[in-house]
Structure 1
């Protein structure tokens, strides 16, 4: 009896051949979107964090009834102090036009900047050669001009905690998806075993070994899982593309760089082989365990 690619059991007629690929496709779709979404957000966070790690924003708030000339004087004094501070590479006073540009995506283009009590903002870029003590800098600024420096540490910590939560959520979703896939493949395999019990007993009588029978079931499960996972991966990639196209019009400046844009794609393309391997081992273990009870 040959142990090649032939099939002595008509598994293609089983109900599992109809519903299992669609279930695997749905599970793969959920897992792919979860992993790809996490990778995209993680890379955006890295880019955002890199931009903030070497930057400090200095804020000068106008005092009650203070004239523009007095505020401008404090701004110039602060700029001079910052330019001579160790570790500072460049200092730029943000114009009202620049502030308007920052606020327009959130407050709209009809915003009247002049009607808002906005503070004067100074963008400070650090050289990175030495650490800047923000606490000491704030003490110096407060004693001279009343300005306040912000190194964005709070926002970076919040983003790190948020990404940590997303990472665990993505891992949990993938774990649930894998568990669901194992359960569904095992359930479908047991159904096929019950439906073809007489054929399997006949194969045993003519000398077929359990491994020969198990290979037929595992090939069947692999084929169904591969079809479903490929469909799910393609659907996930199409969804991710549509989302990225919609997000490109938000004018937030967010986007994956060319050197890292492949990561979500690679993660998605890795799911069909993984799904196929999971189906193979699940079907094989289920069949061998059932056959041992039958003999």
Structure 2
């Protein structure tokens, strides 16, 4: 029948060459931005999970005694006392040379000679627990340090890093929100394109109906055309996003920061990124189909 021949050649209903016009490039931009936002959210999630697992049982003990000889004696006594505390998996007293290297960027290496007196630096003991640093476990460490090192102060690493985690979690939520907003923007762009194509081909569609074509068959023509454009645009968008993601990954890897390194994408993350153009194409096709069917019901 004539409507079958017309429907099989969807270019007569939507006369445009593939990858021409603005729609494929709009989809490419949307997919690229979605993939970049998703990659940022996944990287932040990996960094948060890795850092939390690493410092969950971390405790820092600072011996604040200003006198060098007393501080050294209290630090040694604190190490021996902490060894007898239950749930302690390991501990390490940070060497003085390492502490000097940590404060050198802020105070300089020759500050003692310049001022004529050394600045007292607290002794640090890094303690690792076999589980989370709960208030009860912190209290147990504080009790044994009362006599061994009266000037010692106990801090859970997860406590003073909590603001950092909260900020990273907020950025992750923002990334997920951007993905949702971009999906909505993609659906809106397809909706407008489908309505525009319907208006431009209204006379042809009426002829198809007179020849026996159904709304579903007409919608399939639009759905197929949008699907081709979305697939092509999505592929281009994903390629652009991968270039940006890999470039940023190399730059952040050069920082050599542990928290940044722990945010590297794993193979499951790359799989999710590869699904972005596929899901975008399905969303575009579904939006086009529903839009056309809804508009055709109003036309007839």
**TM-score clears 0.5:** yes
Deviations, residues 67-115 of structure 1 (Å, cap 9, x unaligned): x2222111111111111111112221111333356567xx38x942874
Deviations, residues 57-76 of structure 1 (Å, cap 9, x unaligned): 1111232xx2x222211111
In structure 1, what is the Cα distance between the partners aligned to 2:164 and 2:284? 37
Give 1:165 deviation, angstroms.
2.1
RMSD: 2.8
Q: What corresponds to 2:29 in structure 1?
A: 26
> Alpha carbons of 1:187 and 1:257: their partners in 2 closer, same or farther (altered >3 Å)?
closer
Q: What corresponds to 1:175 in structure 2?
A: 180
Deviations, residues 107-152 of structure 1 (Å, cap 9, x unaligned): 38x9428745431111112233996621342244244311111112
> Alpha carbons of 1:152 and 1:224: their partners in 2 closer, same or farther (altered >3 Å)?
same
Q: What corresponds to 2:115 in structure 1?
A: none
User: Is the CA contact (8 Å cut-off) linking 1:100 and 1:113 kept in structure 2?
Assistant: no
Deviations, residues 186-224 of structure 1 (Å, cap 9, x unaligned): 111111111111211121222211111111100111111
Q: What corresponds to 1:9 in structure 2?
A: 12
User: Is the CA contact (8 Å cut-off) linking 1:91 and 1:125 kept in structure 2?
Assistant: yes
| Unaligned segments of structure 2, at least 5 residues | 113-118
Bigger shift: residues 137-146 or 234-243: 137-146
Q: Does 1:186 align with 2:183?
A: no
Q: What corresponds to 2:297 in structure 1?
A: 292
> Alpha carbons of 1:8 and 1:58: their partners in 2 closer, same or farther (altered >3 Å)?
closer
> Alpha carbons of 1:294 and 1:235: their partners in 2 closer, same or farther (altered >3 Å)?
same
In structure 2, what is the Cα distance between the partners aligned to 1:239 and 1:96? 42
User: Is the CA contact (8 Å cut-off) linking 2:13 and 2:221 kept in structure 1?
Assistant: no
Pick aligned residue for 2:128 from 115, 125, 130: 125
Deviations, residues 235-269 of structure 1 (Å, cap 9, x unaligned): 112111111101111121332488x6123312211
Deviations, residues 146-195 of structure 1 (Å, cap 9, x unaligned): 11111123235334433442343223212211111111101111111111
Give 1:279 deviation, angstroms.
0.8
> Alpha carbons of 1:203 and 1:103: their partners in 2 closer, same or farther (altered >3 Å)?
farther
Q: Does 1:204 align with 2:201?
A: no
Equivalent position SS for 2:282: helix
Equivalent position SS for 1:13: coil
In structure 2, what is the Cα distance between the partners aligned to 1:248 and 1:199? 57
Q: Does 1:85 align with 2:85?
A: yes
Q: Does 1:255 align with 2:245?
A: no
In structure 2, what is the Cα distance between the partners aligned to 1:167 and 1:121? 33
User: Is the CA contact (8 Å cut-off) linking 1:31 and 1:174 kept in structure 2?
Assistant: yes
| Unaligned segments of structure 1, at least 5 residues | none
> Alpha carbons of 1:57 and 1:5: their partners in 2 closer, same or farther (altered >3 Å)?
farther
Q: Does 1:112 align with 2:115?
A: no
- TM-score normalized with structure 2 length: 0.85
Q: What corresponds to 2:43 in structure 1?
A: 40
